[in-house]
Copies of this chain bind each other. A is one copy, B any other.
């Protein structure tokens, strides 16, 4: 058993309303960053887990995303390669 660290990016699905991104974009305009065209706000989750190998760790994290971390209706997720922690 070794320890692996896996990062996950969860982003609002393209084309769906992203109210948090809109709010950040408006706030940036108010602060004077007029060149900002679009903002998307997602989550960045780092998971440290014990596993026999990197592949198994990545499979487990994919399952975690489906069961808890991401909303399959409104969000996309992307898993980075497992690195030894």
Contacts and interface: CB of A to CB of B under 8 A. Distances in A.
Interface of A: 1, 3, 9-11, 24, 27-28, 31, 33, 35-51, 60, 63-64, 67-69
Contact of A64 (B28, B38, B60, B69): B28
B51 A3 contact: no
A48 B23 CA distance: 14
A44 B3 CA distance: 24
Contacts of A35: 1, 49-51, 60
A48 B22 CA distance: 12
Contact of A46 (B3, B42, B49): B42
A43 B40 CA distance: 10
Nearest to A7: B9
